[in-house]
Structure 1
Amino acid sequence: MATTEECRAALDRLSDSMAGANGDVRAAAALDRTLSCRITDLDVTFSGRLKDGRIEVQSTRPGPPADKAQIRLAMTGDDLVALVNGRLNFAKAWAAGRVRLEASFRDLLRLRTLL
Structure 2
Amino acid sequence: MATIEECRAALEKLSDTMRSTEGDVAAAASMDRSVSCRITDLDVTFVGRMTGGRIVVHDTLQGPPKEKAQIRLTMSGDDLVSLVDGELNFARAWGSGRVKLEAGLRDLLQLRKLL
TM range (shorter): over 0.9
Counterpart code for 2:39:
I
The secondary structure found in structure 2 opposite 1:37 is strand
Q: CA deviation at 1:65?
A: 1.1
Q: CA deviation at 1:74?
A: 0.2
The secondary structure found in structure 2 opposite 1:65 is coil
Residue 33 of structure 2 is aligned to residue 33 of structure 1:
yes
**Alignment TM-score, normalising by the size of structure 2:** 0.99
Moved over 2 A (4+): none
Q: CA deviation at 1:26?
A: 0.4
Residue 49 of structure 2 is aligned to residue 67 of structure 1:
no
What is the distance in 2 between the residues matched to 1:104 and 1:39?
21
Match of 2:79 in 1: 79
Residue 45 of structure 2 is aligned to residue 45 of structure 1:
yes
Unaligned regions of 5+ residues in structure 2, if any?
Answer: none
The secondary structure found in structure 2 opposite 1:36 is strand
Q: CA deviation at 1:66?
A: 2.0
**Alignment TM-score, normalising by the size of structure 1:** 0.99
- 1:36-80 Cα offsets, whole Å, 9 max, x none, are 000000000000000011000000011001210000000000000
Aligned residues: 115
What is the distance in 1 between the residues matched to 2:29 and 2:37?
16
- 1:54-113 Cα offsets, whole Å, 9 max, x none, are 000000011001210000000000000000000000000000000000000000000001
Match of 1:22 in 2: 22
The secondary structure found in structure 2 opposite 1:72 is strand
The secondary structure found in structure 2 opposite 1:28 is helix
- 1:1-31 Cα offsets, whole Å, 9 max, x none, are 0000000000000000000111111010110
What is the distance in 2 between the residues matched to 1:101 and 1:65?
15
What is the distance in 2 between the residues matched to 1:17 and 1:66?
29
